[in-house]
Structure 1
């Protein structure tokens, strides 16, 4: 997609306003300006609302804030609310602790093609570098190669090559069949029409884990091709402690069952959420 269609960047967040502020600062530096931001807030306090309001004043693109009450981990539900608010033909899902590089939107736009979704990639930052970035002691968006080389030697970043080498769209990006590896809703893009076909994310998934794999699987079952966004779409993932994963296995079993039966539509998704 090299045209000028509007892209909706749906940023999921929960009570991490310092990280969200850094992500929105990254949004402000995008080279591609034909996009909007929808902050999908899973029950954060007023500190997050203040960050969004400040960003709305400073960014030159539209910034919307969609909020739901805090009732546990409900990522699928808040993403559906973000989808319902989005105006773009193409949706990019981003987590509120994943800082986009300046060419993030532009790279996703170049990889977008009819009948395809893109699973993006990420670069993991360590706790010390994350702390420095949040305190604004370092500018992770504009730091030079020498800085990143030092951080790699110190073990504060897991890879640096994708920051400086960006590959175009090519055949090897296509993922044949359904594969779990690389599916992360912290960086994922799909056409709004295809998302509507599968009824969005399934809110019947409870607790952490695999609601993103289920989303990609149902798109796969609907005939949408998956493309890998490696060496093009990398975001800087700020360090955080892992979420409890008590529900991971049961959610995984649900995805495997849907792989077997060819399920396409979410049991409780966009049509049932009342998100409009």
Structure 2
């Protein structure tokens, strides 16, 4: 599932990288948080050549409602395992294959990112550079120039899949821009909590509630990295209050979203 909002040029780069996965046995859900007609046109153009099912789930623009977009996308999905990806995160060729290999009942997989500079992001989008398929020498040059923040992951180094599961909770590397979760586990905790207002911490809240429900966490580092296109930081006016809610839930051991998947069904 790819979450997007009014950045069709980035979305196209992400979706085309999905088309080129070495494992094509999956569907693409575009979870759109109120984008304009430009994104609709982009999705229609991509859908015409998609090598796998592609659907567009749209909702009106009423502010930052990524939690709702992801819940609506979950309800539209047909698979039993959902990989959440943001519309500015370009997956490497084996992204789906590695998530599939790491998927395990009773666990979620939290992936990681390779941050890109503003300059490289602009070139990738303007010149249609296939960064995921670029030669190792090119990736190394970008790293040496400071355009990538990691060295080994872009070159395809992979760690063994042993020892990735952690049974204790950690706030580190919780990113819904690269997260694999079983649909049954999402339903068990009522999905993302749409009661969060503004940007921030709705992903931490989900992972925390899953942990309270007994879902362990597997580290997807050196396996599931994505190239994160540069963008200006989002407005974080509600970040402090959202963080306070999550910290309170950490103490109360709550598992259920106040407003989530069940409310859509109702």
Which residue of the other structure, out of 162, 177, 193, is the alignment partner of 1:170? 162
SS at match of 2:27: strand
**Which string of whole-angstrom CA distances, capped at 9 and with x for unpartnered residues, describes residues 113-169 of structure 1?**
010000011100001100010012532121111111111111111013112201231
Match runs of 1:43-54 below 5 Å: 43-54=34-45
Measured in 2, the distance between the counterparts of 1:245 and 1:176 equals 31
* Contact persistence 1:208–1:245 (CA under 8 A): yes
- Structure 1: unaligned runs, 5 residues or longer: 1-9
Measured in 2, the distance between the counterparts of 1:256 and 1:29 equals 40
2:256 is the counterpart of 1:265: yes
Q: Which moved more, 1:47-56 or 1:184-193?
A: 47-56
**Which string of whole-angstrom CA distances, capped at 9 and with x for unpartnered residues, describes residues 79-117 of structure 1?**
100000000010000000000111100000000001000
TM-score by length of 2: 0.97
Residue equivalent to 2:149: 158
The alpha-carbon deviation at position 186 of structure 1 amounts to 0.4
Residue equivalent to 1:66: 57
Which residue of the other structure, out of 122, 127, 149, is the alignment partner of 1:131? 122
Residue equivalent to 1:189: 180
SS at match of 1:162: coil
- Structure 2: unaligned runs, 5 residues or longer: none
TM-score by length of 1: 0.94
Which residue of the other structure, out of 3, 22, 36, is the alignment partner of 1:12? 3
Residue equivalent to 2:70: 79
Residue equivalent to 1:222: 213
* Contact persistence 1:44–1:70 (CA under 8 A): yes
Residue equivalent to 1:6: none
Measured in 2, the distance between the counterparts of 1:159 and 1:130 equals 15
* Contact persistence 1:77–1:273 (CA under 8 A): no
Residue equivalent to 1:116: 107
